[in-house]
Structure 1
Amino acid sequence: MRVARDNGYDTLCRLGKTFGSVDGLCRALGLTTEERQILFGPYPSFWGPSVLSNGLMAADFNHSQLRWCPLCLGESAHLRGSWLLKISCVCNRHATWLQEKCPDCGSFQRLDKVNFEICGCGASLAEIRAARPVADSVYHLSQTVEASIIGNSALLGFPPLSLPEWLKLISYLGQFSETCRPRKPGKIANMHQLDTASAFLLQASYLLDSWPENFRALLAAIQCQAESEAKTKTSIRGTFGTLYHVLYTDLSAPCFQFLRDEFERFLHVHWPGVVNKRHRAFKPETVATHPRVTLKQAAKKAGIAPSTVRHFVRAELIAGNQTELPSGRKMRSVDEQSLAQIAVLAKECVTLGETAKQLVLPECRVRELISDGILKPLVSRMHGNAAAWLIPKQQVRALIFAGTGVTHSPPIINVRYILKYWHLREGEFITLVRALLERQLEPVGKSTESVPIGNICLDEQVARKWLVEKRYVGGASISVDEAAKRLGLKQQVVYDLVKLGLLATSQDDLPGRRVTQTSLEEFQATYISLAEFAVTLNRAPRWLLQTLSVQPVSGPMIDGSRQYFFRRVDLSI
């Protein structure tokens, strides 16, 4: 362009006709071989295909629009070869963004003009209106790319790359952000425009800056979006989509291994599924060291059944992850760090059958203990309809008792006998167990021996009295003999009261006439015996009977019964 202008040519095409090739022009200018090697960029199209070094292609360069740095043009009016690269957006000498539009009319400048210092409107392209500063991360990346023109160069902490490799890395990596991902990353349209190229350079520099935090943030955003859109899959390729394709196909060269290494390190921490030998693109150590394993693998390593691990996961005792395969089958996995916890849980638990054997109880009684909350299984039908029951051994041990060490005379009776022959009513077994736990009933036996609850021996009289009292408090009926004890009367007296209808009785499923708590309280509230009334007045019963003007409702002289009874209302008490 300078040669054409200084020799009076008004277009580049006329210069091209004068010199049939670039070699002819170089010979006319007397350029040495060393000077020719300094030249960078493609030839004008009228001289045919360019012979490019370093593996570059003509598509890597601008062929129509001009970019420039006004400060550089002001210092020396010539175009720098690096400005022709499509990815070149920064002047590395002045750390400012390049320009592509006239500062006055805003028109693009074309590369086929002769005078590149002046716009068609007459404005100087070296004039500075507003030089935009460049961020450090962009500036360092741009410097590295320009340095690779003469040999491989590297950013701090990254492997050295050639110029074509840098161009490829920026063009692919720059398409990805936390809010935008390309559907088909490939050849990019409008890279010859500064706005498009600078956006890619900015994003690529951001992802490479503070490595690998920003890259990890991109991976986390992609994974989070996949989860929010209910697209979570067991396929890593399906979750990360086009980025996975870029890392393992488009940027598959060994020089880009640092990207794949960081991607696989991210999966090691954040991928909830299993990484196995199906992932052939991964390094073998990535597959071998991935921390998540299937339930079957976890069970094998922990030495327990796979169903037990599944029950632990369902009961949320072990953190697990579930993904759905395209076939609809669900795949579960756990962290390998949970294996020790799984083994401990399995070792410290027993099944329902084992619990029944250790406590010497029928399984139905163990289920009662579970229903009432005395035993709290880690795994049961309440947790995902599990077929197995896993009960902590510690809770089972709480139902193994030691004797009081006090010598008891017979008769004694054990809990198994009570369950078999005493016909306990609903809830009474649980009441018995709680009485033992709360020491309301004391086991009979040596204090040095531990006895399961089924074999615990109790004083039979104490146990019967306790059961009768519990039933009575709970509203159960009692026999006439028991009612006599509660009233402090002889049995024959109470039978006479029943016969006379003064003490109401009922007939239930138990043999004999039964007295309810209500009828007993009504009798005590309505009637009082002569003996009891005499005690309250501190008088002799015989004297009191002779002095009272009130007629008794029952007695020896009235109906032949053994004691006199009065109505309380008649005695005004």
Structure 2
Amino acid sequence: MKLAETVDAGTSSHLSGLPIRPRPGITESRHGYLVRVANANGYGSLTRLCAALKTTHRRTEDVILQSLDLTKDELENLEGPWPWYFRHEDILHDGLCKADYLTGLFRWCPQCLAESPYLRAKWAVKFCVTCLTHEAYLIDSCPSCQRRQKIEHFCTRCTCGQSLSNCKSLQAPSGVLKLQSALIARSRQYEAFNLPRLTPSQWIRLLEKIAALTEPSHKLRTGQVAGLQSLSTSIIVVERASQFLKNWPIGFHTFLRDVQEKGAASFSLQKTFGRLYHWLYVDLHDQEFSFLREAFDAYVNEHWWGLVCRRNRRLENKGANSARASIGLAAKISGSTPTRVKQLHLAGLIEAKKVIHPSGRQSWSVPITSVAEIYVLAAHSIDFRSAAAYLALPRQRVRELISAGVIHPYLSAGKGNSSTWMLPRYELDSLVLPSLQPAPIESPPCDPVTILQALKSWRLESGAFIALVRALNAGQITRIVQTPADTPFGKMQLSIKSLREWLEHWRKEHLLSMSISDAAKILGLKEQVAYDLVEAGLLSARMERSGYARRISNEEITRFQATYVAAATLSKMLNTSSRGLIARTQVTPVTGPNVDGKRQYFFRRSDSELILSQASRSISFPPL
């Protein structure tokens, strides 16, 4: 007959002790120890043992403890809460409460269980997920049948027959092991993140807050985290917390940056960081958690887009080390105006943060590092009217320089919502002192002309001024030695000869049309001859819309050169005069003094071979 049946047959009042009384292990779970006693005496569960020893005049738990006859040292080896149905007062260490422990279930380390087959009290803490001795994760379910183990039926084997000490456990990462070492506060094997030492109850409070922060579905909830009875849920929470506390405070600052990027664009810390702000300064107000607030203050002062000031009464520095300033303060320090600072930001020249409140009011903040940039921009810039006077050029010419990209304005009428211009002074200076290569300088001065004089009297075509500036910077036009060195760009003296040569070359390559005078220069003719050719219809010219000027296209110049040749050109080949050439050939000129009364003879180029062949068999015609 079983021992339990023998006990049940009698009365518990006559039972003075238990036949088998196992001794407690070091830091053994109270609940697990009592279950082990019940199993050793054949009851199968603690509840059956309690029913067998129940009396009317004494508490059952007192009877059990008296029957075990435990010494004081043995009682001190037991840790953790009593079973929930015991009326004994729980004497828990480190400020923990019954809610911090598992209820009805147990976790275990297979290797520890193989060495000593009893449950450790620390395994019952909900946030305990590793064994620090073997650096592995705990297990809470049978690897064979996947059934979670109940503590009332604790045994070294599952009901399916699988040995609980013969299970494979996974290796735990170092970050999780460090956090477990800090939480359990028994092992000093790992350094706990270089953080102040917290009690286990304080660590649990912190882990609950971190779990709610890092889990989106729990972000706005308070209280305990659901599902911690399951080991998988506890592992997720602890792993997230280890990342949160990794390389303190880098991991925390990374988390804050993610929260800020996803949060509302507001100058309110509570709206930006949500419940985190309240938890740091209200829920976790203890002095032991001051390291959290210090790290948060440091992040806000350095990275938050808002302003830290006296209204943020919970912060320590109150803006003393803030990395941002109001737009008014930034303008005052840099010697600018708030409007100008806003315009510089809208133009993309400085960094700033703008927040629009529900009322429509706008708030601005500027990084302290941008204040120096604002000062430099304001000190080294010039408005449009002053720029024209500085260069000694008409304002229209300054607009040409801007349109051509020679000058890049910081602000303009269509940039940054500005109604005024802001031009970089160094780009204006670069026109006078070219940075590419120095232009050739002619000395002593001869036939000089200033750039302003050329612009006013030379009637430069569209695009010629910009080409002139670039040619001057490239050293293609000769300059005259001048003093002083700060001569305005418009008063810079150039060689007339060099300027004319460059201008003729440029016109030949770039102009689509030109005046009759310019066409005569390109053809190497006198102006009157060019006008005669136009009147004779040999050189086509179109009338401008104004009706006062005629223009000749580049294509027409090319066509004329390919169709006609001057008698003077052919006569030079024959070493004779134009009249001598006319007398020696039977070919009739298309125009000339004896043909239509014009000043110069011209032949068709197609007849030139016949003319030359009559004079000499070896003369070749020059290429077009």
1:65-84 superposed matches below 5 A: 65-66=105-106, 80-84=120-124
Per the normalisation by structure 1, the TM-score is 0.74
Aligned to 1:347: 379
Aligned to 2:427: 395
Q: Is 1:358 equivalent to 2:390 in the alignment?
A: yes
Q: 2: distance between equivalents of 1:530 and 1:3?
A: 135
Q: 2: distance between equivalents of 1:289 and 1:264?
A: 10
For 2:367, the aligned partner's letter is D
Q: Is 1:12 equivalent to 2:45 in the alignment?
A: no
Q: 2: distance between equivalents of 1:302 and 1:253?
A: 42
Which residue among 252, 262, 280 is the counterpart of 1:247?
280
SS in 2 for 1:293: strand
Q: Is 1:373 equivalent to 2:409 in the alignment?
A: no
Aligned to 2:10: none
Q: 2: distance between equivalents of 1:97 and 1:563?
A: 109
1:420–1:568 Cα change, 3 Å: closer
For 1:166, the aligned partner's letter is W
Aligned to 1:446: 482
For 1:257, the aligned partner's letter is S
* Superposition deviation, residue 254 in structure 1: 1.9
Aligned to 1:57: 97
For 1:478, the aligned partner's letter is I
1:421–1:543 Cα change, 3 Å: closer
Please tell me whether the aligned partners of residues 178 and 218 of structure 1 are also in contact (alpha carbons under 8 angstroms).
Answer: no
1:284–1:311 Cα change, 3 Å: same
Worse overlay, 365-374 or 17-26: 17-26
1:155–1:547 Cα change, 3 Å: closer
SS in 1 for 2:487: strand
Aligned to 2:291: 258
1:249–1:432 Cα change, 3 Å: same
For 2:291, the aligned partner's letter is F
Q: 2: distance between equivalents of 1:483 and 1:79?
A: 112
Q: 2: distance between equivalents of 1:440 and 1:205?
A: 69
Matched length: 559
Q: 2: distance between equivalents of 1:245 and 1:91?
A: 34
For 1:58, the aligned partner's letter is K
Aligned to 2:466: 430
1:177-188 superposed matches below 5 A: 177=214, 182-188=219-225
Per the normalisation by structure 2, the TM-score is 0.69
* Superposition deviation, residue 397 in structure 1: 1.2
1:364–1:191 Cα change, 3 Å: same
Q: 1: distance between equivalents of 2:599 and 2:589?
A: 13
Which residue among 207, 225, 246 is the counterpart of 1:170?
207
Q: 2: distance between equivalents of 1:99 and 1:556?
A: 119
* Superposition deviation, residue 358 in structure 1: 0.6
1:69–1:276 Cα change, 3 Å: same
SS in 2 for 1:476: strand
* Superposition deviation, residue 340 in structure 1: 3.2
Aligned to 2:20: none
* Superposition deviation, residue 387 in structure 1: 3.2
1:137–1:549 Cα change, 3 Å: closer
* Superposition deviation, residue 360 in structure 1: 1.9
* Superposition deviation, residue 552 in structure 1: 5.5
Q: 1: distance between equivalents of 2:504 and 2:118?
A: 114
Q: 2: distance between equivalents of 1:90 and 1:447?
A: 85
SS in 1 for 2:325: strand
Q: Which runs of 5+ in 2 are unaligned?
A: 1-33, 434-438, 612-624
1:291–1:470 Cα change, 3 Å: same
* Superposition deviation, residue 392 in structure 1: 2.2
Please tell me whether the aligned partners of residues 504 and 522 of structure 2 are also in contact (alpha carbons under 8 angstroms).
Answer: no
Q: 1: distance between equivalents of 2:115 and 2:574?
A: 131
RMSD: 5.0
Q: Is 1:537 equivalent to 2:570 in the alignment?
A: no
Deviations 1:3-48 (CA, angstroms, capped at 9, x unpaired): 7786989342554545238678767877777776665444555554
1:85-484 superposed matches below 5 A: 85-90=125-130, 116-117=154-155, 128-130=165-167, 132=169, 135=172, 136-147=174-185, 155=192, 157-175=194-212, 177=214, 182-205=219-242, 207-208=244-245, 210-223=247-260, 226=262, 233-267=266-300, 270-284=303-317, 287-321=319-353, 325-326=357-358, 333-381=365-413, 383-400=415-432, 404-408=442-446, 414-416=450-452, 419=455, 426-434=462-470, 436-438=472-474, 442=478, 446-457=482-493, 474=511, 475-479=513-517, 483=520
Q: Which runs of 5+ in 1 are unaligned?
A: none
For 1:538, the aligned partner's letter is N
